[in-house]
Amino acid sequence: MHPHHTIFLKSEMRASCNICSQGLTGLLGYTCRECWYYFCVKCVTSPRVHHPGHNQHELTLVQHPASFRCYACQDDLYPPSSSCQCTICPFWIHLKCAQLPSLLKYKFHRHPLLLSYSLPQQYLRFRHYCSICHATLSPTQWLYHCANCRFLAHISCATSTTKTSQRLSSSDDEYKNLVHLPMPDETSVNLLRQLFIEKMISNHNASNDTDSSFASSSSIKGAARENVLINHWSHEHHTLVMINKHDAADDHLIVRDNNGDNSIVCDGCTKPIYATEVSYACHLCKYFLHRYCAKMPKQLQSTRYQDGLMLPDISSYFFFICNGCKFPSSGMRMMTEKGDFQLDIGCASLPRSIKHEAHHHPLTQHESGLNKECTACLRDIDDYEIVFGCDKCRFYLHGRCALKPYKIIHRWDRDHPLSLNLNLDNIEDHPHDFNCEYCSEDIDPSAWFYHCRYCDISFHIHCIDLFYRYSHIKFGISVDIDHQLHEHSLTVVLNERKRCCGICHRQLCNPLSYAAPVLECETCNFIICMSCVHPQYIQSGSSMVFLEGTEQIFEK
């Protein structure tokens, strides 16, 4: 207890016990004449405890209630029972914590749990959360963990007789009017985006006392439903014809998308047009619009910005960076009248509020993402980016992260879909780190990530974004440029191999840069990088316009 000096029994001490703080006035006690320490008889005669959680010193059993902060559970509530205290250093724990079993069978986990007196070394790199209550785990507090998987729990949570959780899931009925995310797969996300755009147009028509016709955006020729012709403001030099599901399968209408797959892509929202959908097409230019994208008026009121957003009367092939998702796009854009903010129509149509499985409150669009961190990718949110959040819980998501589907098919694992993991609760038998297949960095387990449990491959969600960074660009479209650059028509393609630009002779797709869109002449095997293409070189009347400065977009 006090090994450096001899202690002496003394009566009539006007002091308190240095161990348990009990007053010694009128009582017998022990004192050290050199240190002037005082000890009550009960503490001196109490049993000594050797505990593996504090093997540096012996612990003394304190046999009456005392106020302290427990080093094991970090609870500072006044305990009604005994405790164990080190008389040399400040270490002090509840007796019930000292008596915890080293091996625990937790009924909600199939593996036995091991008692650890601090966060295990292999987990110190990242911030971790209790797998039961989802609160942060302190690196110094005692916990139970699974040796076979990343199940970590507070000792109080693991020893509780009921499974408690702060991550409460709300019933569907409670927020039945909100969109519930995540969606099952990529097709579902595309269909959901279509519904958002349709609803945006419908709300606009309702607020402006107009019907759902094309009156605000185009004129209609022909009365037969199966043979409607329209003159649309986005493609003024040719008439668009309605095509049904049988026409959509015609080979001459199909173009290749950015993944190299054959599909029909809408020039408004840059998403696939499925075989069962009615659409409008210019067969000559391979220009397509979903039926609802063809209804897009030139001006819409934004749910986010009070001054509204305008849809400029320009070609849909105007490359720009969407401020909402940071992806380059070749589709229709909406922008403020000042021209200082622009969105693709997919981002512009996102609802005001959503409900996500990862959080028990609804998430609402915020005016600004400044000083916020995305809970999904753990990256800062830029000021103009679309962000859904709950201010009460400081839970925020990028718009693009909120729309991530449960399952995706990735070309690096064609045999199995990758599953979105919002937390580690659903991954068992995986004690080692998750390493991103793309960047080779370890994944912070508190972030969302995609994982295949069969192949044991994983991806950061922001690395998955890199595979989709040109998903809003329509490839396979021909464009005529000024003859001083090249005499033939060029096609927008995704260059994925080492080649040199025919103008600046810079090597493209080298080890320091990613694949990027280029203009290609299939006849001459000639390409032009986006750095060399400027609006003044595009032939008048062409449906393609490039934004100056796009080299900063495509050569990252």
Q: Helices marked H in 73-142 — which ranges?
A: 95-98
Find the range with the poorest average confidence among 210-214, 380-384, 440-444, 546-550: 546-550
Taking the CB of residue 320, how many other CB atoms lie within 10 A of it?
A: 19
Task: Answer left, alpha or beta for residue 314, where phi above 0 means left and psi between -120 and 50 means alpha.
Answer: beta
Last residue of a domain, one of 313, 347, 381: 347
pLDDT class of 546 with cuts at 50, 70, 90: very low
Find the range with the poorest average confidence among 26-35, 40-49, 463-472: 40-49
Pick from 316, 320, 312: nearest CA to 332: 316
Strands (E) in 19-100, as ranges, are 29-32, 37-40, 48-49, 59-62, 83-86, 92-94
Angle, CA of 182, 376 and 468, to the nearest 5°? 70
The count of domains in the chain is 2
Task: Give one DSSP letter per residue of 431-491, joined into a string.
Answer: -SPPBBTTT-PBPPTTS-EEEETTTTEEEEHHHHHHHTTTTTS--S-EE-B-TTT-SS-EE
Domain shared by 342 and 199, yes or no: yes
Is residue 85 in some structural domain?
no
Domain shared by 343 and 482, yes or no: no
Q: Which residue has the higher pLDDT, 475 or 405?
A: 405
Find the range with the poorest average confidence among 47-61, 316-330, 455-469, 486-500: 316-330
Find the range with the poorest average confidence among 177-191, 227-241, 386-400: 227-241
Could you report the per-residue pLDDT of 260-278, keeping only the tens digit for each? 455 788 988 888 888 778 8
Would you say residue 450 has pLDDT above 90? yes
* pLDDT > 70 fraction of the chain, expressed in percent and rounded: 78
pLDDT class of 539 with cuts at 50, 70, 90: very low
The tokens of 167 are what?
A: 């991550």
Is residue 179 in some structural domain?
no
The pLDDT value given to residue 542: 35
Q: Measured between alpha carbons, how far is residue 432 from residues 128, 130, 212, 416, 442 in Å?
A: 14, 18, 56, 21, 10
463 phi/psi in degrees, rounded to 5: -75, -35
- Identify the sign of the CA torsion 277, 283, 285, 286: positive
Is residue 514 in some structural domain?
yes
The pLDDT value given to residue 254: 52
**What distance separates the 2 farthest-apart alpha carbons in the chain?**
112
358 phi/psi in degrees, rounded to 5: -75, -10
Is residue 278 in some structural domain?
yes
pLDDT class of 168 with cuts at 50, 70, 90: very low
The pLDDT value given to residue 121: 83
Last residue of a domain, one of 299, 331, 347: 347
Q: Helices marked H in 78-226 — which ranges?
A: 95-98, 155-158, 186-207
Q: State the Cα–Cα distance between residues 553 and 448, nearest whole angstrom.
A: 26
61 phi/psi in degrees, rounded to 5: -80, 115
Is residue 282 in some structural domain?
yes
Mean pLDDT, residues 120-133: 82
The pLDDT value given to residue 400: 93
Mean pLDDT, residues 27-47: 78
Could you report the per-residue pLDDT of 241-262, keeping only the tens digit for each? 988 764 444 544 555 444 445 5
The pLDDT value given to residue 396: 94
The pLDDT value given to residue 306: 53
Domain shared by 191 and 337, yes or no: yes
Most confident among 2-6, 127-131, 197-201 (mean pLDDT): 197-201
The pLDDT value given to residue 504: 85
The pLDDT value given to residue 18: 74
Could you report the per-residue pLDDT of 64-116, keeping only the tens digit for each? 777 788 988 888 766 667 788 887 888 988 888 888 999 998 887 888 899 99
Yes or no: say if 348 and 337 are a contact pair by the CB < 8 Å rule.
Answer: no
Name the helix (H) or strand (E) containing 287.
strand 287-290
The tokens of 153 are what?
A: 């729990």
Mean pLDDT (the chain, rounded): 78
CA 460 to chain centre: 9
Find the range with the poorest average confidence among 168-177, 239-248, 330-339, 508-517: 168-177
Find the range with the poorest average confidence among 271-280, 315-324, 429-438: 315-324
The tokens of 70 are what?
A: 């427990």
Yes or no: say if 474 and 267 are a contact pair by the CB < 8 Å rule.
Answer: yes
Q: Which residue has the higher pLDDT, 449 or 554?
A: 449
Could you report the per-residue pLDDT of 189-245, keeping only the tens digit for each? 988 998 999 888 888 777 766 554 444 444 444 444 544 888 888 888 888 998 876
Find the range with the poorest average confidence among 19-23, 120-124, 418-422, 436-440: 19-23
Q: Which residue has the higher pLDDT, 488 or 310?
A: 488
Residue 430, burial from CB neighbour count under 10 angstroms (0-12, 13-18, 19+): middle
The pLDDT value given to residue 262: 57
Q: Indicate the pTM of the whole model.
A: 0.72
- Domain that includes residue 318, residue range: 186-347
Yes or no: say if 180 and 362 are a contact pair by the CB < 8 Å rule.
Answer: no
Is residue 214 in some structural domain?
yes
The pLDDT value given to residue 154: 92
Q: Which residue has the higher pLDDT, 54 or 430?
A: 54
Residue 460, SS3? strand
Last residue of a domain, one of 304, 321, 347: 347
Find the range with the poorest average confidence among 306-315, 458-467, 468-477: 306-315
Is residue 254 in some structural domain?
yes
Q: State the Cα–Cα distance between residues 523 and 324, nearest whole angstrom.
A: 38
Is residue 247 in some structural domain?
yes
